[in-house]
Amino acid sequence: MGDIKQSTEQHTQVKNSAGLPCSYELIDRLLRFPTMSETSNLELIEFIESQFQRHGIATHRTYSDDGQRANLFATVPAEDGEMSGGVLLSGHTDVVPVEGQPWDTDPFTPTIKDGKVYARGGADMKSFIGVALWLLPQVIEAKLAEPIHFAFTYDEELGCLGAPRMIEEFGQRGIKPRYAIVGEPTLMNIVVAHKAPQRGRLTFRGVPKHSSLAPFGINAVRYAGEFIHFFNGLVDDLRDNGPRVEGFNITYTTGGVNFAQGGSAYNIVADQCVLEYDFRIVPGTEPEELAERIRTFLREDIEPALKDEVARVRSLGGADEKALGKVGVDFEVLARVPALNTSTDAPIVKFAEELGAVLDGGGESTHVSYGTEGGQYYEAGIPAIVCGPGSISQAHTENEWVELSQIEACERFMIEILNKSKA
């Protein structure tokens, strides 16, 4: 895809010649890439990269293990060549799937109606990326006192999987932004804190048998059920006795086993069952402690019980030793996103307020239960907030939309970032 050319004059206009936000052409192009998580985003990354390359700005990619998805990081340096400090503008390129959702329009063909843009990713969060790219030519032309950084990531929707590789890479090059602004949809309000998501998977392996011969088999679903019972008790304990953090709409850690898949038929003893759980952990609680409580339960309760089952089946005679050798349970933490816990009095909050963003202004709450890459910047020692166009209530829904007025508000916010960064 070719470059989208922009003039300096466009940046000073309220709307373009079609009466749309000046950044809309770029946003429209981005929304047409079906970059669902775990699918390739490389075509979109190439398009974004071209916007930097035509200005002679170096870009840096870091890839997923399979090489099919990439992060992109770029820095427009200060006039004196300084590459560290300054503001980082961060957005994820992936979107959630649309399967099973009753859309009224093609989710990857942006549709404007009644002052809103309908498309997957309109709110979450390609509008922010489009506005950042729209700002780029003016950033290039400006004499900057400090650099402006651009970061675009992959697989955020799967647990912020891409950002850590990018953060490590630019850290190794000695680049440490002064502030990070993550453009998730907040109605351009300032979010200072979010919980720490943790996603885990357990795979239970048993021995299949015809259900009429159930004593000669080991039912994986049974032991998966025992884990679910344990997990629900753990979540209840966190609710009743765990720490609480005021400011969140749900002040305690929550969780659930939200995916279960096991067995093959009603009359076959299930030889496998896979569970996936989700925690949303309040700041101040160590996520690894919860993972360790799961490991302890598996080690002290499930694994001994499965060993007893193996011995019982073997004692019946005629056991399939190959099948018995596979009995067990595997546990892996698939994603861990650190909490964001910026103080409302932090300099980055004051900085954003000076740019026109609002703290607790009736839009998004200052404390949210979902996770973002802001927690990863925060953990890396980069002060971070979340602030972007659109509402989180529209994210992941059918007929996802963002108001054009929100895009315009984001444009004004970006221009103020640039003005603050000038020499």
Each residue's pLDDT tens digit, 237-289:
999 999 999 999 899 999 999 999 999 999 999 999 999 999 999 998 999 99
**DSSP states of 55-117:** TT--EEEEE-TTSS-EEEEEEE--TT---SSSEEEEEE--B---TT---SS-TTS-EEETTEE
Q: What is the pLDDT of residue 12?
A: 46
Q: What is the pLDDT of residue 16?
A: 67
Choose among 223, 176, 195, 215: nearest CA to 374: 195
Q: Check pLDDT > 90 for residue 10.
A: no
Are the C-beta atoms of 268 and 209 separated by less than 8 Å?
A: yes
Q: What is the pLDDT of residue 381?
A: 97
Read off the pLDDT of residues 11-52 as tens digits, 9 standing for 90 and up. 444 566 678 999 999 999 999 999 999 899 999 999 999 999
* Cα 178 to the center of its chain, rounded Å: 22
Q: Check pLDDT > 90 for residue 3.
A: no
% of the chain with per-residue pLDDT over 90: 91
Q: Check pLDDT > 50 for residue 7.
A: no
- The rounded distance, in Å, linking the Cα atoms of 316 and 78 is 76
Q: What is the pLDDT of residue 19?
A: 86
Q: One of 156, 157, 271, 403 is an active-site residue; which one?
A: 156
pTM value > 0.85: yes
Q: Check pLDDT > 90 for residue 373.
A: yes
Split at pLDDT 50, 70, 90, the class of 319 is: confident
Helices (H) and strands (E) in the chain, counts: 12, 18
Q: One of 94, 157, 309, 364 is an active-site residue; which one?
A: 94
Q: What is the pLDDT of residue 17?
A: 61
- Asked if 94 is an active-site residue, the reply is yes
State the chain's mean pLDDT as an integer.
Answer: 94
Are the C-beta atoms of 245 and 343 separated by less than 8 Å?
A: no
For residues 393-405, average pLDDT: 96
Name residues whose C-beta falls within 8 Å of residue 135's C-beta, 6 or more positions apart in sequence: 11, 411, 414, 415, 417, 418
- Asked if 345 is an active-site residue, the reply is no
Read off the pLDDT of residues 155-197 as tens digits, 9 standing for 90 and up. 999 999 999 999 999 999 999 999 999 999 999 999 999 999 9
Q: Check pLDDT > 90 for residue 233.
A: yes
